[in-house]
Amino acid sequence: MAHSLEPLLKPKSIAVIGASDTPSRIGGRPLHFTKKHGFKGNIYPVNKKRETVQGLKAYRGIKDVPEAVDSAIISVPAAIAVDAIRECAECGVKSVVIFTSGFAEMGEAAAQLEISSIAAEAGMRVVGPNCLGVFNISQGWFGTFANAPSMIAVANGTAGIISQSGAYGSHLFLAAQKRGIGTNYWVTTGNEADVDVAEVIEYYAQTSDVDVILAYAEGMKNAERIYQALETAREREKPVVFMKVGTTEAGALAAASHTASLAGADAVYEALFRQYGVYRAETTEELVDVAYACQFGRFPAGNKISLQTISGGVGVQMADASIKRNLDVAPLPDSVQKKLKAMIPYAGVNNPVDFTAQALNDPHLMEKNVSLTVDEADYDSHIIYMASVPESPFTKDVCIKIFGGLKEKYSDEPMIMSMQASAELVRTYEKMGYPCFDDPSLAVRAMAALTRFGEIYRRGRPDEPPALSAHTLPAPTSQVGEHKAKAILGSAGIPVAREKLAADADSAVTIWRDIQGPVVLKVASPDILHKTDFGGVLLDLETEATVRDGYASLVQRAADAAPGARVDGVIVAEMISGGVETVMGVVSDPVFGPTVMFGLGGVLVEVLKDVTFRLAPFGTDEAHRMIDEIQGRAILDGVRGAAPMDIDALADGLARLSAFAAKNADVIETIDVNPFLALPDGAIALDALIVPKKVAKP
């Protein structure tokens, strides 16, 4: 069954409502471009004042067009645009592209909702309003008034561009052209009354004539659609390179939990991209550089990289850049180093391998070095830096022969060439199969991106989250304090400390005796968030007297610090020493739902901000990746003689929290588990807080 966007992106017939006889006008450009680029289908200009438009027969209205077209462009004022859209629906038009502005972006949301309603009822797809349109270069279909179609320098290729912003979409297309990226499809979605960025990504992921996807967006509205789109792209090994812009301030909820204060909207998108293997670009240059490298279709099988260079200094630069991007600049085996030394006695042969200037006297040394490294050392990728040597009249022809032969011999090896060369020579090396970069650091960035995509594609489908049964919460009417929150989390399989709630000092002493060891006393109050701020926690109490006195002291401290707070009593818990304090939590995003946080915990969590996020639910494999991402990861492996922590237990706790949060997404706004204590054997929740939605959003 054809995708519903097929009539929009591969139309066999089109109409332009508001068509102009002047090619430079907004209503004239789609006709001009589409005719110029050889569109094979039927073209129907709609203009009630003219007999012909740009040499084509004109029609007074869409109802007068002799067929139900696949796609119609709406290029009329906002006051009559909705009527034009309704007429298209009545005439069986399959898709419309609305250039017209003056809808939701100007506060006219009702008119945009009417467009959505008309389209949904008729089964007609809508791009826009307030967009620059769409085009398909291979078909000669240019449903746009952007300048881009008049500036095509590279023949159509296998890239698909999708942008919410029309102006940025045009900018991105031209930047891609300049970088040598052949683009096939280009779509700008504008206000997204119907078709959104996610659906276009899904179309690109499914179609056979797109290999790499370049995307730009300010935000998303449909979580399930973007999940499906990105999962399809991942399954089909189609790289998505995405620029996501725009962040929002943390709301009033930030005061209620550590997790909320650390989880701005941008953190949620970062979680989305990490989880689904999207490369996030910060600049247009980065976006097109990475997409350009992806078009060559070579993704490393691991992160071990060899660096071949004619400059020792640049070799150091590339090594620094590689290590910064988590590439393994492992030394060459001793046996290979000895053979290289025999060829070039003064060469650097560790990794990077420095050809030295001797390669100018004997260019074939470059061939021998690269061949020896590929044949006898176990590297996943290779970057070759040649400065301006390939352009020199003394070495140009021999370099073409050498590096052409190397790429032919090692066609499956991911290799990037960094050199200073003319555009013409760069095209020659690209045809051999080398992505080419002037700046060696940017070559490293691109190879790191390819390596990341390779790792993502090797993963296969994500593992399933833990199965939880009967852990749906009734809607809480107030904030859930530590004791009850830990009991709830414990029922979901998250380990919690042994503890009981004492209503008086005698009960506290009885609980202490049952625990048979040192205890911790904590004020139990759903109204007091951070107990340590006023001394609401007493540690390592070992006698009846200290327990009894501690109880009285905590009750008084709570009354002094928060006079109106409800105090349920005092928690008496087993004292657990050692380990590493981590934090895990949940915050509900209005689009993506529950988002899980992990990082180093304790009282300094908001100062350190060493945290990472994922969208719930997920399995232990994803949890392990979260743990590996934090900057303080080495602490969990044991430092200064300390024992390593139980990473599997941490991952299991994270995965269980994600499953619990997903199951209770309609009820829970935030969860804090801080600290979630990592131990050499196990992990245990020592404190917790649950904030329900009705409390967080009065």
Domain stop point among 294, 316, 339? 294
Where residue 673 sits, what CATH number does that domain have? 3.30.470.20
Same domain, 413 and 560: no
Q: Of 644, 666, 671, 635, which Cα lies nearest the Cα of 656?
A: 671
Is the pLDDT at 470 greater than 80? The verdict is: no
Q: 169-199 pLDDT, tens per residue?
A: 999 999 999 999 999 999 999 999 999 999 9
Strand order from edge to edge, sheet including 499-502: 499-502, 569-574, 519-524, 537-541
Spatial neighbors of 58 by CB under 8 A, at least 6 apart, are 19, 45, 46, 47, 50, 51, 52
Domain stop point among 259, 294, 329? 294
Same domain, 157 and 65: yes
Same domain, 186 and 77: yes
Is the pLDDT at 260 greater than 50? The verdict is: no
Is the pLDDT at 262 greater than 60? The verdict is: no
Q: What are the b/e assignments for 564-591, b being 16+ CB within 10 Å?
A: eeebbbbbbbbeeeebbbbbbbbbbbee
Same domain, 136 and 51: yes
Is the pLDDT at 693 greater than 90? The verdict is: no
Asked if the structure places residue 603 within a domain, the reply is yes
Q: How many domains does the chain have?
A: 4
**CA atoms 97, 99, 100, 102: torsion sign:** positive
- Residue 603 DSSP symbol: T
Element of type H or E holding 266: helix 265-276
Query: What does the alpha-carbon distance between residue 340 and residue 332 come to, in Å, rounded to a whole number?
Result: 10
Query: What does the alpha-carbon distance between residue 217 and residue 247 come to, in Å, rounded to a whole number?
Result: 12
Query: What does the alpha-carbon distance between residue 8 and residue 28 come to, in Å, rounded to a whole number?
Result: 19
Average pLDDT over residues 192-220: 96
Give pLDDT, residue 476.
Answer: 66
Alpha helices (H) along 497-579: 505-515, 544-561
Asked if the structure places residue 483 within a domain, the reply is no
Query: What does the alpha-carbon distance between residue 74 and residue 82 come to, in Å, rounded to a whole number?
Result: 9
Element of type H or E holding 672: strand 668-678
User: In sequence order, what DSSP letters do the residues of 283-319 get, joined into one string?
Assistant: SHHHHHHHHHHHTT----SSSBEEEEES-HHHHHHHH
More confident residue, 578 or 533: 578
As given in the structure block, the two tokens for residue 80 are 């009559």
Asked if the structure places residue 471 within a domain, the reply is no
**Residue range(s) defining the domain that contains residue 185:** 6-294
Same domain, 253 and 334: no
pLDDT confidence bin for 251, thresholds 50/70/90: very low
Asked if the structure places residue 489 within a domain, the reply is no
Tell me which residue has tokens 């008496």.
Answer: 572
Asked if the structure places residue 565 within a domain, the reply is yes
Same domain, 174 and 55: yes
Asked if the structure places residue 252 within a domain, the reply is yes
SS3 85: helix
Same domain, 224 and 347: no
SS3 198: helix
Beta-bridge partners for 242: 215, 280
Question: What is the 3 state secondary structure string of 481-504?
Answer: CHHHHHHHHHHCCCCECCEEEECC
pLDDT confidence bin for 451, thresholds 50/70/90: very high
pLDDT confidence bin for 698, thresholds 50/70/90: very low
Is the pLDDT at 250 greater than 60? The verdict is: no
More confident residue, 132 or 344: 132
Average pLDDT over residues 218-222: 90
Same domain, 222 and 348: no
As given in the structure block, the two tokens for residue 609 are 């901000």
Is the pLDDT at 16 greater than 70? The verdict is: yes
Give pLDDT, residue 357.
Answer: 85
Is the pLDDT at 91 greater than 50? The verdict is: yes
Asked if the structure places residue 155 within a domain, the reply is yes
Decide if 322 contacts 307 (C-beta within 8 A). yes
Same domain, 568 and 584: no
As given in the structure block, the two tokens for residue 312 are 């020792």
Beta-bridge partners for 244: 217
Give pLDDT, residue 187.
Answer: 98
Average pLDDT over residues 452-465: 92
Q: 109-150 pLDDT, tens per residue?
A: 788 899 999 999 999 999 999 999 999 999 999 999 999 888
- Mean of pLDDT over the chain: 92
Where residue 187 sits, what CATH number does that domain have? 3.40.50.720
Q: 22-73 pLDDT, tens per residue?
A: 999 999 999 999 999 999 999 999 999 999 999 999 999 999 999 999 999 9
Q: 607-663 pLDDT, tens per residue?
A: 778 899 999 999 999 999 999 999 999 999 998 888 999 999 999 999 999 999 999
Same domain, 178 and 163: yes
Same domain, 116 and 249: yes
Asked if the structure places residue 259 within a domain, the reply is yes
Domain stop point among 548, 574, 600? 574
Where residue 411 sits, what CATH number does that domain have? 3.40.50.261
Where residue 556 sits, what CATH number does that domain have? 3.30.1490.20
Give pLDDT, residue 28.
Answer: 98
pTM of the model as a whole = 0.91
Same domain, 602 and 618: yes
